[in-house]
Structures are given as structure tokens and as C-alpha cells.
């Protein structure tokens, strides 16, 4: 059984005789490393080395390597090293260890940290070009797939589309209702609280109505959908990519874009306007409730004021934006999914990127739409 390892060093004239004994196994790794370090100065002075392994009771790869290293240090300077007393059952392992580590792997090139940092910034800036290319390519192949559907409507994967619609639309309704209801209520409460100071609390209805219908309804819903469904798309497509499922599809002569991506993006484009409508109504409802209980404005007055304050234009502005935002979310999510490489880490990274990028683009798009609608007077 395991005994404590020892390394006895005896100087014989100019030479050195080392007698390791006990268990030279991984369980004693710490002690073994100390032992073999301790003889290093003697080893450096010695003209020749005799390594007597007679006392070694147990040996494994780690121990064999440490002993091999001792004799190799001598051999490196051309000094003779002799290994004796190898037990029969250890011979194979010692022979195997003698063959390894002959070639040192090239050391990693030392880099200037400042230059490395600058290089990293440069590379990530340059990769923005890739991002745009990926986005445009995905948009292009979606358009091609869509044209194919227009020519041959039967090619549409209806089951898949409906299933995706169920997942990203129907199943998202409860959480969308809850969040937008709360947002509407909070805006109304804040409005009443601050407008009351100069007696303008009835204008809260204008603020809630315009803000929710024009901007916030669609924005909140798009952000929720990007986090909820966009990330799911990226993770699904990414793990399919990792397990070569997408390659399998292509080799069967099927286009992954029309089989996997088009149904997903179509489902988002259909679902987001519906969710936006539901979300906006929930927000108005939340605002109305707060106005009633906190602001003392009855429902009939709220509705009458709302009728005066908002026009169909505000509603249209919000709804027009929704499908475009869905398209951006879908393209980014699917594009990032296809960029997943082999590792689990890359799947996580790409999913994060997908959500961050689609939320960023949704907000940028909202800004562009604001400029656009302002200039056409909507």
C-alpha cells in the first residue's frame, strides 16, 4: 500500500546517486515535486547520475515523469545518466514516459499588451462590417425564400409557421399583458402626481394615450419579444448548427432559410403587431385604472378625454412600426444563431449578442421612425 515517498541523494566522487523509494504516485504529487526540486542543486554539480529505482514500490505516470525529468536534466548537458533497478512491472511505463515530451511546444509569442488591446478594438470595429454583411445576407435570403413562396404558396411550411406563431404569439400574451399593464399604470401615476402641481392632471390622459400608442407600447413589446423569443431562436438554431443538423438539412437539398428561418421570422412579423395591440390596450387599461382610483377620474371621463386626445394616426404610427421591429429581431436572432461555433460557450455568447443587438436595433429603428413620421407630418 501507499508509503511516503523519499529521495535519498548520495554523492559518489564527482557523481550523484539518487535512490527514490516509496510510492511515487499522483496522490503524493505535492511531496514528490518538492523532493525532486530539492536535489536540483546537487544534480547541477554532478558529473554523472545513477538513478536506482529499486526502492520504488508504486509508480504512476506523474512519478515516472518526475524521475525521467531528473535523468533528462543530466542528458541535456551531455552528462551520462544511468537508470537501474527498474521493477519489471514499471518498465513499460518508464519506457512510455521516456518517449514523450521530447519536443517542446513553441512558446506563445509574447505580445505587447497595448498593441494587443488596440488590435482587439480594431478587430471588433472591423467586425461591425461582418455584422452588416450577415444582416443583409439574411435579409436577402429571406426575400428570396419569400419570393419562392409567392410563386409556389404550397412551399410555405404552414405547420411550422403556425407552431412558431403559437410559441411567440399566444404563449407570450400573459407576460406582455402584465408588463404593459404595469407600465401604463406607472406612467399614469407619475403623470397625475406631477401634473397635479399645476392643475393639469386631466392632461395625463393625453400623455398616457399618445405615449403608449405611439412609442412605448410597441417598444416595450418589441424588447420583451427580443428577450423572450429572439433568444430562443438563437439558442435553437445555434444548437442545431452545433450538432450539424443544419448541415444535414442542406445535404438533403433543403434550404435552411426556408425550412427553419422563414417560418420563425414570419411568425414574429405576424405576432408582434398583435402583441403590440394587446399590449397597448393593457397599458391604457392600467392607466385608466390608476386615473380612476388614484386621480379620481371616472372611466367615462377618461374615455371621453382619450377620444379627444388621441387620433387614429397615433395608433397607426405604433402599429406600422411593429412588423419592421419584428423583422429586425427575427433576422438578428436567426443570423446570430447560424454564427454559433462548436462550443457551448459560443452558444451563450451568440445568444447574448443576439438579444443585446436586437434591442439596440429596435431602439435605433424607433428613432429613425420618429424622424420619418415627423417629416411626413404623422
Residues that bind other proteins (CB under 8 A): 25-26, 29-30, 33, 59-62, 65-66, 69, 89-90, 92-93, 96-97, 99-101, 103-106, 341-345
Helices (H), 152-226: 158-168, 173-195, 204-210, 217-225
Residue length, the chain?
378
Question: Distance (Å, rounded) from C-alpha 266 to C-alpha 330?
Answer: 8
DSSP codes, 248-306: HHHHTT--HIIIIIHHHHHHHHHHHHHHHHHHHHHHHHHHHHHHHHTT---HHHHHHHH
Q: Which is nearer to other proteins, 106 or 253 (CB)?
A: 106
Q: Choose among 267, 366, 355, 376: nearest CA to 324.
A: 366
Q: Which is nearer to other proteins, 77 or 345 (CB)?
A: 345
Instruction: Provide, rounded to whole angstroms, the least separation between the CB of residue 38 and other proteins.
Output: 14
Q: Which is nearer to other proteins, 66 or 187 (CB)?
A: 66
Question: Distance (Å, rounded) from C-alpha 273 to C-alpha 57?
Answer: 76
Q: Which is nearer to other proteins, 344 or 364 (CB)?
A: 344
Question: Distance (Å, rounded) from C-alpha 168 to C-alpha 225?
Answer: 8
Instruction: Provide, rounded to whole angstroms, the least separation between the CB of residue 73 and other proteins.
Output: 13
> Using an 8 Å Cβ cutoff, are 213 and 313 in contact?
no
Q: Which is nearer to other proteins, 28 or 141 (CB)?
A: 28
Q: Which is nearer to other proteins, 25 or 271 (CB)?
A: 25
Instruction: Provide, rounded to whole angstroms, the least separation between the CB of residue 7 and other proteins.
Output: 16
- CA gyration radius, the chain: 36
Q: Which is nearer to other proteins, 100 or 303 (CB)?
A: 100
Q: Give residues with Cβ within 8 angstroms of 336, minimum separation 6.
A: 234, 238, 350, 351, 353, 354, 357
Instruction: Provide, rounded to whole angstroms, the least separation between the CB of residue 322 and other proteins.
Output: 38
Instruction: Provide, rounded to whole angstroms, the least separation between the CB of residue 124 and other proteins.
Output: 20
Instruction: Provide, rounded to whole angstroms, the least separation between the CB of residue 239 and other proteins.
Output: 12
Q: Which is nearer to other proteins, 2 or 178 (CB)?
A: 2
First-to-final CA distance of the chain: 87
Instruction: Provide, rounded to whole angstroms, the least separation between the CB of residue 35 and other proteins.
Output: 12
Sign of CA dihedral 313, 317, 318, 323: positive
Q: How many CB atoms lie within 10 A of CB 210?
A: 17
Q: Is 55 exposed, middle or buried (0-12, 13-18, 19+ CB in 10 A)?
A: middle
Q: Which is nearer to other proteins, 26 or 118 (CB)?
A: 26
14: cell is 564527482
Phi, psi of 57 (to 5 degrees): -90, -40
Instruction: Provide, rounded to whole angstroms, the least separation between the CB of residue 2 and other proteins.
Output: 12
> Using an 8 Å Cβ cutoff, are 297 and 291 in contact?
yes
Amino acid at each position: 500500500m501507499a508509503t511516503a515517498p523519499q529521495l535519498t541523494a548520495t554523492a559518489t566522487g564527482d557523481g550523484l546517486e539518487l535512490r527514490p523509494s516509496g510510492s511515487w504516485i499522483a496522490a503524493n504529487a505535492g511531496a514528490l515535486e518538492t523532493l525532486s526540486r530539492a536535489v536540483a542543486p546537487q544534480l547541477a554539480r554532478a558529473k554523472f547520475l545513477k538513478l536506482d529505482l529499486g526502492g520504488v514500490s508504486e509508480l504512476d505516470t506523474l512519478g515516472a515523469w518526475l524521475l525521467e525529468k531528473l535523468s533528462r536534466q543530466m542528458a541535456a548537458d551531455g552528462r551520462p545518466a544511468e537508470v537501474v533497478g527498474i521493477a519489471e512491472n514499471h518498465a513499460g511505463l518508464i519506457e512510455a514516459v521516456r518517449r514523450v515530451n521530447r519536443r517542446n511546444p513553441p512558446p506563445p509569442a509574447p505580445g505587447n499588451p497595448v498593441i494587443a488591446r488596440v488590435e482587439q478594438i480594431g478587430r471588433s470595429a472591423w467586425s461591425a462590417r461582418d455584422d452588416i454583411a450577415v444582416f443583409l445576407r439574411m435579409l436577402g435570403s429571406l426575400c428570396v425564400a419569400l419570393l419562392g413562396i409567392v410563386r409556389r404558396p404550397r412551399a410555405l411550411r404552414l405547420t411550422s409557421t403556425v407552431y412558431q406563431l403559437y410559441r411567440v404569439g399566444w404563449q407570450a400574451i400573459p407576460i406582455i399583458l402584465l408588463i404593459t399593464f404595469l407600465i401604463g399604470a406607472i406612467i399614469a401615476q407619475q403623470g397625475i402626481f406631477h401634473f397635479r402641481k399645476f392643475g393639469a392632471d386631466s392632461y395625463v390622459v393625453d400623455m398616457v394615450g399618445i405615449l403608449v400608442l405611439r412609442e412605448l407600447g410597441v417598444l416595450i413589446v418589441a424588447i420583451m419579444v427580443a428577450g423572450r423569443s429572439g433568444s430562443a431562436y438563437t439558442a435553437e438554431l445555434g444548437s442545431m448548427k452545433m450538432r450539424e443538423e443544419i448541415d444535414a438539412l442542406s445535404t438533403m437539398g433543403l434550404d435552411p432559410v426556408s425550412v427553419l428561418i422563414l417560418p420563425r421570422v414570419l411568425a414574429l412579423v405576424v405576432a408582434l403587431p398583435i402583441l403590440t395591440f394587446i399590449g397597448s390596450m393593457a397599458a391604457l387599461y392600467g392607466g385608466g385604472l390608476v386615473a380612476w382610483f388614484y386621480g379620481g377620474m371616472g372611466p367615462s371621463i377618461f374615455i371621453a378625454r382619450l377620444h379627444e386626445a388621441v387620433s387614429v394616426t397615433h395608433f397607426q404610427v405604433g402599429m406600422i412600426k411593429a412588423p419592421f421591429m419584428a423583422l429586425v429581431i427575427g433576422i438578428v436572432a436567426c443570423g446570430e444563431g447560424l454564427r454559433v461555433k462548436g462550443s457551448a460557450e459560443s452558444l451563450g455568447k451568440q445568444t447574448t449578442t443576439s438579444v443585446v443587438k436586437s434591442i439596440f436595433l429596435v431602439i435605433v429603428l424607433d428613432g429613425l421612425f420618429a424622424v420619418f413620421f415627423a417629416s411626413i407630418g404623422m
